Structure 1
Amino acid sequence: MSDEYEVHGPHDHAVEHVGAGHGAHADADPFASRMAVMTAILATIGAIYAYQSGTSENLALYYKNEAAIKKTEAANQWSYYQAKGEKENLAELGAALSSPGSDAHAKFLADVEKYKQQKEPIRANAEAIEKDVTNNDAQSEKLLHGHHRWAQATTLIQISIALTAITLLTRKRWLRNLSMGVAVAGLLFGAAAFLSV
């Protein structure tokens, strides 16, 4: 004989009651079953939305980072272009100050031409990098907007799950309808996020 007492709480009683519900009593509470299925479906959708939200945010940060790196590269190219321009100006000054027909004058004129030719590809490269910056910034903004839509959809689905739990406790039909309405709004926001990708 044991000196220990077993105390059964309301949860134990509910589990035994559900466990004993075989046969004709197995589906005695279809309202609760529907709410449980609805909660499971909403939780699954919410998990997918949360994943998409995180992915969109990470990609937005990646493209923003790429834009910052490219912006630095473009600034470096423009500095290089400016340095070549300054060398060209110095060569032009040297040509202007040297006697025409001298070897120095010819060398300065050759340098002017060399720096002009060297500047053009540098300028073109800097402009191409700046275009990449613009594209990366635009992609980041688009993804960040999508992230906000996914986050809003996730929030609405979570609110719907909470309302469904309250509906299960109160068994109010208007609350069930509100939960479904919020879920539909969450699905619409999710569809808008999906279409914006």
Structure 2
Amino acid sequence: MAVTTAILATLGALFAYEGGATQANAMLYKNNAAIRKTEASNQWNFYQSKSSKQNIAELGSVLASGDRAEKFAKDVDRYKTEKAEIQKQAEVLEAEAKEWDERSEQEMHLHHRWAQATTVLQVSIALSAIALLTRKRWLQYAVYVVATLGAALGAAALAHI
């Protein structure tokens, strides 16, 4: 039982490390998503600014005459082109933010799986200590069953399930 306990403690330490690593990755990915969302928001604000300028130019082209009306009409066309480019950039940034969010969610799922595996192994270690103290054979088998469940959860995390 002492060797089994040492093996379970080693596995538990490895699982705990993986759980911490996946949690850190999830936070990093969530941070990247937030950065991309902010950049997309900035682009949409820039888009709104160009829309306001376009609206003013359209009004100017209606109210003005001659060369001034033509200048305002050119400005309207320029703002339309600029808005299209800004919109594309904003949509790309939004898509990137969504990808980072999804990666974060996947990492958090793995973190939970590693945490479950670690917890179950800790329970099996506690049962192992009790089995050693009481010398109950049935408790030793319970240790093996619970440890197998913990190992299965760890394997599921390793397989990204």
What secondary structure does 1:88 align onto? helix
Q: Which amino acid aligns with 2:19?
A: S
Aligned length: 161
Q: Greater helix percent: which structure? A: 2
Instruction: State the alpha-carbon separation in 1 of the partners of residues 86 and 67 from structure 2.
Output: 29
Structure 1: 4+ residue segments shifted above 3 A: none
Residue number in structure 1 paired with 2:42: 76
CA apart distance, 1:40: 1.0
1:178 to 142, 148, 156: 142
1:140 to 104, 109, 112: 104
What TM-score, normalized to structure 1?
0.80
The two structures, once aligned, show a CA RMSD in angstroms of 0.9
Unaligned runs of 5+ in 1: 1-34
What secondary structure does 1:196 align onto? coil
What secondary structure does 1:176 align onto? helix
Residue number in structure 1 paired with 2:28: 62
2:59 equivalent to 1:93: yes
Instruction: State the alpha-carbon separation in 2 of the partners of residues 116 and 132 from structure 1.
Output: 25
Q: Highest Rg: 1 or 2?
A: 1
Instruction: State the alpha-carbon separation in 2 of the partners of residues 84 and 131 from structure 1.
Output: 22
CA apart distance, 1:121: 1.1
Instruction: State the alpha-carbon separation in 1 of the partners of residues 6 and 120 from structure 2.
Output: 15
| Higher-RCO chain (CA-CA 8 Å, sequence separation at least 6) | 2
Residue number in structure 2 paired with 1:130: 94
